[in-house]
Structure formats: C-alpha cells, structure tokens
Structure 1
Amino acid sequence: MSKTLKEITDQKNELKEFFGNFVLNLEKTEIFSEIQKNLTDEVLFVGCGSSYNLALTISNYFERVLKIRTKAIPAGEVAFQKVPDLKEEGLAFLFSRTGNTTEVLLANDVLRKRNYRTVGITIEEESRLAKESDLPLVFPVREEAIVMTKSFSMILLSLMFLADKIAGNSTERFSELVGYSPEFFDISWKVIEKIDLKEHDHFVFLGMSEFFGVSLESALKCIEMSLTFSEAYSTLEYRHGPKALVKKGTLVFMQKVSGMDEQEKRLRKELESLGATVLEVGEGGDIPVSNDWRSAFLRTVPAQILGYQKAISRGISPDKPPHLEKTVVL
C-alpha cells in the first residue's frame, strides 16, 4: 500500500486512540501550564507550507476563543526579518513536522533573541526544533510520507482543544466530532469516489476564517499528490476575479459556515451555471459535518482523499511528488 494512502486511512481509527491517549491528557502536562502562563496579548504562529496552513488555522481559533490578538506569519519572513513592527518579547508557536525546516529554525533563533518564548511544534523528538525551542511540544504521531496528512489533523485537533481548555470552555464537542470521524471518512471516500476525476482538471477550495486555512491546506494536498491546478480563497472572494477560470472541468469544495446558508446557496448556483461541479462540506452538505469551527481538524480529509484518488487516476505516485522532500533544508 502507498505510504500516503496508509497515513490518510490511518486517521479513520487512529484519531479516537490519539484523542483518548494524548489530547485528553494535555491539560495535565507541564507544557500546558507553561503555555497558559506565558500567553501574551499577541501571539505569533509561524510555519512553512502545510505547517503555515496549520499555523494560520490555529491562529484564528486562538484569537476566537482566547480573545487575544494573533498573527500567522510565513517562517521565511521571520527568519530574514521582513516582519514590520515585530515586538521585543512575547509567545510564538513554531511549526515544523520534522523539526528541521531551515526557515523555522532560523525564525526560532530570531524570536528567542527578541525575548520571545518559543513553542516548538513537531512530531520528531530528536529534531533541532524540539531541542532548540523553549517549550517543545512533540506529538506522538508517526508519519513517513512526503505529503503531510494525518499529523496535520492531529496537531490541529490538539491545539484547538488546548485553546478551549485554557479559555475554560467545554470540550465535549471535540469528543463528539472524534466519535463521528470514522463515518465522516467513509462518507468522504464514497462521495469523491463517485466523481469522474478524469473529467476535472481544476480544483477550487473555498472557506472562511479557520476554514480558509483548511482550504489552503486542501489545495496544497491536491497540488502535491496529483499535480493538479488547485486554488483556495475566502468563500465570497471567489467572485472577485478568480471565477473567470471556472469551466466544465472545475471542481469546487465549499466549506459551509454557520449563518451563511443563503450566500452559499447563491454562490453554488452561480458556479454550477458556469459549468463547475460544487460539493459542500458542512451541515446539510454533500459531505455532512458540524459547522462548528472545531470541525476544522476533520475538514482536510476530503481533499487528502481527492488528491490521492486524482493522482491514481493520472497514473502518478502520491508518494513521490516531483521536486519535493519531506524536509526543506536551505
């Protein structure tokens, strides 16, 4: 079996085990109390590629539930000091799956010199980020494929849960969503399997706020795995220029948001009239899931499946995306 496929499908059952063994125990860890103690009125979230999309999604959720200002910044902009008005101290989360991404390590150095406390987010305990950040948070996830899949979902779930715990919010919703994950996976697989992917060569992912980060990640999965032209936009922004590219071979995934039913219905009708195939992810959608922002950790799964299935339909190995490595070292 493809490494990438195995890691995508692992989520169907591993999410429950991961949630029970790791996420529910986060509050008892020293790292939890250290993050809580070091929270400032503005927190930075820094990463590259999928890790930047993860940082952006988490940044929005921290701001939503903790009522603090956050900034998601590409690591290269911090590493080479191109960020305007960077404060002299604070808290920063740095994301690198392997923990050895050059820009992230350089960003960690820059921020620590400016008296930031840095939280190193990685799945590799022996990585440089785990050793060089002030507060390493190493996730017990094994992922070997070049394309990031299940670790994205699991880290996102963990940090959203952590934010709610710090805020004193109920976390029961996470338990419900994790319980739904096997069914969500099966529905996603069946829906995408029914699409004639040979007839679609343009993928578009639309979402707002936390779901915009999900959409960016979804587009990236399809680019990496299947080499298919893929884009992501804030939902209503798609009308403002990008829809000029819509045609019969366009497949649109729209992440549904509470209170936006009428706007989403109108946009779907408009895009379908231009020849696009439109699928909605969310309450009452083609792939049903709660519209709660907490569902973000599940919402990249359909695109992971899509990227894999499109790659197979094109005779491309999703395990060997051209020009890509698991770790970017400059």
Structure 2
Amino acid sequence: MESKQRTEEQDSKEAALRAEETLTYKEIGEQAEAVETAFRSALQSGGWVEKYVRKGGEQAIFIGSGSSYYQAQTMAAVYRAWLGRPAISLPSSDLLLVRKQSAVEERTAVVFGVSRSGESTEVLLALKAAQTVTGWKTAGVTCYADSEMAKLAPCLVSEKGKERSTVMTKSLSSMVMAAQTAIASASGQAKYIQELERTVGEVGAVVDKAKALASGIVRSASFNKTIFLGMGALFGIAQEGCLKLKEMSNVWTESFGTLEFRHGPKAIADDGTCIVVLLSEQAREQELKVAAEMKDYGAYIVLIAASAGPDTAFADQVLEVGLPDVSDEARSILYLPLLQYYGTFTAVKLGLNPDHPKNLTQVVVL
C-alpha cells in the first residue's frame, strides 16, 4: 500500500508539470543552432585569436564560477592539448582572493573570464584585479556583447547562447565551442577545425538520442545517488552534469575523475547508485574497467561513448555520440545533452520546475 501511495503521488507531481513545458527543455533542444552559430562566429574572430590566444602569453588562465568554472576546465584542457602550452582553470574567487596561491604572477598571461551573463561579480572583480598585474592581459567568453565583462575585456560572444532559464544548457555548450574554435584556429592545424565542424554537425542528432535515453532512464528507475565520472577535457563536463542534477532536482550527486573514483569514493557504490561514465577514447580500456567494477558492486551503469562495442555490453545503457575518429577534446560537448536532460526529467519526476531551482538566480552578485 505504501509503495502504491508513493507511485500515485509521483504520478500526480508529473501531471502537474511536463518537461516539454519548461524553458530548460526547450533550450536544451536549441543548442544545435547555438553551437553552430558560435562556431561560425569564432571562425571570424581572427584578430581576437591572434592577440589573446596565439600571442597571448606564457600561460593562459581560464576563470569562472559555477557552470562557468566547469567549462573553463574543459577550455583549459583543450588549450593544453591543442597548443602544447600551459593553461590552468580557476574559480574566479581564487584569482580574486588568493591569487599568489593560484597563479604565477611573474609569467605573462591572458586571463579569460567565462560568464554567460557577463555580469557575475566574482568574474568582473577577478578580471579587474588581473589587469593590475604587469604582463597580464584579459579577455572573455560570454553570451552578451553589451555586458559589463564585454566592456571590461574583449570577448568572444555566443549570441544564440542566451537563455531565459536559470540553469545553463545551450549557453555552456556554445561557449565551449567558441573557445575551442579560437584555440583550434590559433593552433594552425586544420584538422582541429575539421573535427569541430564535424562535431557541430552531430549536435542535433545527439540531442534527440539523449532526450529519449534520459527520459527512459528516469521513468524506469529511481536512484538514491548519481555519480558522474570523466577525465581530461571530459572532467569539467562530468562536473557540469553533477551540478545540473543538483541544481534542478535538489538531489545529492557527486563527480570524480574516473580512475580516482576507485581510490576511496567507490565505497558508496551500491544497487541504489547510478554511475554515468563519460568515456574517452584515449583512456577507454582503463575507464571501462572502473565501470565494470562498479557494475559488480550493483551500480546502474550509463556510458556516454563515441561508439558502443563488445567492451561496453555490460552497461545498462550506452549513448553513442559518434565520431570515434575525432579527438576527445573536439567531441566533448556531445556528452552534455544527456546530462542536461537527465537533470530536467529527474526534476519534473520529483515535482520540481527545472526553470526555477531552489535558492538560485541567473546571476550571482556579491
């Protein structure tokens, strides 16, 4: 009787709000256009690329807060991989408040602020502080050309990334694409631009597949916790997946480096755990060993991979995003739609509106 009552309450909550009625759902579905527009626009930003990426300095420092910090992690990973030069990612507050512990002031640098709105207080203050350091330049990535950050520092702008919902979805994927395109252009290697163009072409199809898979998982199962695992450029994406679920549905979730999860955190894996692994091609064999071990502990395993095969057959669900011959860095935004839809559908299942998460606003002001 108790179980039946819970099911009836759950059905009632779902009836009160359908995912399709939310802005978040709509904006996830719009990211193919946002990503393509960001890609095309960044290709036309040759002067910005020359000054701030190709001739930026001895180091690059990507800063952001919340989701913007997580995309900064991916941007820095791509910068290191494609340019072979030092880059770090930091929370804006670290560069602002504990700069000497966080970055080397004696090395020339470009500090890239990352902010959807361009109005985040911590990012603005950190950029202003960076401008006082001799040999440092500032630039940014945003969705608003008329924002305070764009007035403070020259920015790449993802015009189609603008959102009305509180949580970041298409803004994040499009801003990552803009930064990746600038880095690829600065590398002088045509293969990276070609890889990104192929990635852009797959976004729409991946969004559709991710929507169907996420809906099926959320409707058919309930978990007491979800863990997101990723490495390299995909670690920031895994952290973003964790944040999306936490923001929208108010459930507890965590993210870890894939192999790091084995060093203690795996103690929490059980039959109430969903583990989402963002599978790279570079470390595929070792990451699958981690996923298989967690399956043995009873966890429900979801893999997001370039391709499925005999080595992924043990998983409960596999989302194939395609492009196995493309670098993990270029393919990284294709892992986002499933994470975004998973948070959206979970929120609605719990009777929550993902457009208006508890305690949150679009812009955090100090």
Instruction: Give the shorter-chain TM-score range.
Output: over 0.9
Correspondence for 1:189 = 211
CA distance in 2: counterparts of 1:244 and 1:174, whole angstroms: 38
Following superposition, the deviation at residue 118 of structure 1 comes to 0.4
Decide whether aligned partners of structure 1 residues 274 and 57 sit closer, same or farther in structure 2, where only a CA change above 3 A counts: same
SS of the counterpart of 1:309? helix
Correspondence for 1:167 = 187
Correspondence for 1:311 = 347
Equivalent positions of 1:15-164 (< 5 A) are 15-20=35-40, 22-27=41-46, 30-36=47-53, 38-84=55-101, 86-88=104-106, 89-115=108-134, 116-133=136-153, 135-141=154-160, 142-164=162-184
Correspondence for 2:198 = 176
Contact 2:248–2:344 (Cα < 8 Å) also in 1: yes
Please identify, of 52-61 and 261-270, the stretch whose mean Cα deviation from structure 2 is larger.
261-270
Contact 2:116–2:143 (Cα < 8 Å) also in 1: yes
SS of the counterpart of 2:159? coil
CA distance in 1: counterparts of 2:77 and 2:261, whole angstroms: 20
Following superposition, the deviation at residue 164 of structure 1 comes to 1.2
SS of the counterpart of 2:359? coil
Asked if 1:288 corresponds to 2:320, the answer is: yes
Following superposition, the deviation at residue 271 of structure 1 comes to 0.9
Correspondence for 1:250 = 273
Correspondence for 2:231 = 208
Q: Structure 1: give runs of 5+ residues left out of the alignment.
A: none
CA distance in 1: counterparts of 2:199 and 2:163, whole angstroms: 23
Q: Structure 2: give runs of 5+ residues left out of the alignment.
A: 1-20, 309-317
Asked if 1:240 corresponds to 2:263, the answer is: yes
Using the aligned pairs only, state the percent identity: 28
Asked if 1:320 corresponds to 2:340, the answer is: no
Please identify, of 256-265 and 213-222, the stretch whose mean Cα deviation from structure 2 is larger.
256-265
Contact 1:111–1:118 (Cα < 8 Å) also in 2: yes
SS of the counterpart of 1:40? coil
RMSD of the alignment, in Å? 1.7
SS of the counterpart of 2:122? helix
Please identify, of 92-101 and 78-87, the stretch whose mean Cα deviation from structure 2 is larger.
78-87
Contact 1:45–1:94 (Cα < 8 Å) also in 2: yes
Alignment deviations for residues 62-87 of structure 1 (CA, whole Å, 9 cap, x no partner):
01111111111111011113442531
Contact 1:60–1:209 (Cα < 8 Å) also in 2: yes
Following superposition, the deviation at residue 203 of structure 1 comes to 1.1
- 4+ residue runs of structure 1 moved beyond 3 angstroms? 12-20
Q: What is the one-letter code of the residue matched to 2:71?
A: L
